[in-house]
Structure formats: C-alpha cells, structure tokens
Amino acid sequence: MDLELLEEAGLKKIKLSQDEPFKYFIKAVMAGFYLGVASILSYSLGSVASLIHPMLGKIAFASFFGLAFILVVFLNGELFTGNCLTTILPVYTKKIRFVEILPNWFICYFGNFIGASIIGALFILSGSLSHTLLDFLESALVLKLDFDITQLLIRAILCNFIVCLAAYVSFKVKDEAAKVIVLFVLIIAFVLPGFDHSVANMASFAMGVTAFGSALNYSSIFMNLLISTLGNIIGGSILLAYPIYLINK
C-alpha cells in the first residue's frame, strides 16, 4: 500500500536521525549542495536567456530546476520539504508522536540551510557570469522580498504540495527515465509560477547577501523564510499527506 511504503520511509528517516544524527546531518547538507547546484544552473540559464527576452529568462530558469530533486532522489539526500510528507505519516498512523519528528525536521532543515548557503555564496564569489547574473538575481530577489504574507503563505503551501507530489511519484514509479521526466515536469509546475520553496530561497538569499550585502533587507529575508517554511510544512504534511492517510488507512 502507498501509505505503508511512505510510512516505512518516514520511520527510517526518523530512526537514522535519532541513531546517527551527524550522518543524517551530512545527508541533509548534501541535499542542500544538490539544490545549490540546480540554483547555479537555473540562475545561469535564466540570466543569459533574459538578455534575449525577460519571459524567456523566466522559462529557462524554471525548466532545469528539477535537477535538484533528481539529484536528491537518486543520490539519497535528505531534503526538508520532501520529509514533510514521509515523516508525518507515522504520526497520523499513531506509530510515533508528533514531537518525535521535530528533531528530524530541525537537523534536516539546518543541514539544508548550510549546504544551500555554501554553494550559493561560493557561486557569487567565483565571479562567474557576473556581467549578466547580478541584474537577474537582483530582480528575482526584489520579487521575493516584496511580498504579501497571505500570498507568500499560499505560494509556499502550493509549492510543497507539488514537491511532495513529486516525492510521492518517485516512490511509485520504478522506471528511472519515467521518474526523471515526471520530476522535471512537476518541478517546473512550482518554479515557473514563482511559488516559494524554503530551501531554494536559502540558496537565493545566500547569493543575494554575498553579492549585495547590507543593501538587502535582512528582516524581510527572515520573514520570507519563516512564512515559506510554515507554508511548506502545511503543503506537504497536511494538504497532501493527510488525504493520502485518509484514502489508504
């Protein structure tokens, strides 16, 4: 059953974070690295394509961000947003209490933050594509930091609903080529409309802080991460996970 498959995956993640927290933390850092690499690709393609037309830049940015989630799935990383689906199901089935998954979420979130921030900062420090990248990055950050809280929350909910849907598919689909195609398409579905993924935002903000420093509004960055994280939890742990539990219990 789907519920048993996802529940087993969640229990394994929780057990690993309890028994070997440092190993689990490194897996989370690596997932942050993978997402950082996808951010490099997306921002590079987006900045170059935007020289032709701004909308083309947006499409180019969205089209290849799925690389992050393909790397996480195939290289067995630990991504906070995907774990919002798997680790909550044992709570619904009363195998564990909600409080027991919080250390797992904290370790994973912090590891993702470290990994994504390191890669994002190193990319800017490398000076690569700086003649086109910085303008594109600045325009992206302006949109992320000028937000209505309700709209940001909804965008984050929709984002992780789609991300966890991709994770759900990755459990169901066995053919690797089909899995890659579905992941790419589903990730475009949240990146192109500009939905907010908390870990992806970490990489973007790390780039922005490294490039622009105090010119950015740090309180807006903190608020964005806070609201997008809350929305991501709702989208994965409630909007998708709870119906899966109800259907399969």
**For 53-104, what is each residue's pLDDT tens digit?**
989 999 999 988 988 889 998 898 999 999 999 999 999 999 999 999 999 9
Percent over 90 (pLDDT), the chain:
82
At residue 67, the pLDDT reads 87
Percent of the chain with pLDDT over 70: 100
pLDDT digits (tens, 9 = 90+) for 7-40: 999 999 999 999 999 999 999 999 999 999 999 9
Q: Are 248 and 3 in contact (CB under 8 A)?
A: yes
Q: Which CATH architecture has domain 2-241?
A: Up-down Bundle (1.20)
**pLDDT at residue 174, as a whole number:** 83
According to the model, what pLDDT value does residue 238 have? 97
Distance CA 239, CA 152 (A): 16
Which pTM does this prediction carry? 0.94
Average pLDDT over residues 114-131: 94
Mean pLDDT of 234-247: 96
Q: What is the CA radius of gyration of the chain?
A: 17
Higher pLDDT, 125 or 183: 125
Residue 147 has φ and ψ, to the nearest 5°, of -135, 155
Give the span between the Cα atoms of 9 and 201, in whole angstroms.
26
CA distance 34 to 80: 13
Q: Which tens digits make up the pLDDT trace of 126-184?
A: 999 888 999 999 999 999 999 999 999 999 999 999 999 998 988 888 888 888 898 88
**pLDDT higher than 70, residue 1:** no
Which has the closest alpha carbon to 40: 63, 59, 61? 61
- CA–CA separation, 66 and 240 (whole Å): 20
List the chain domain ranges: 2-241
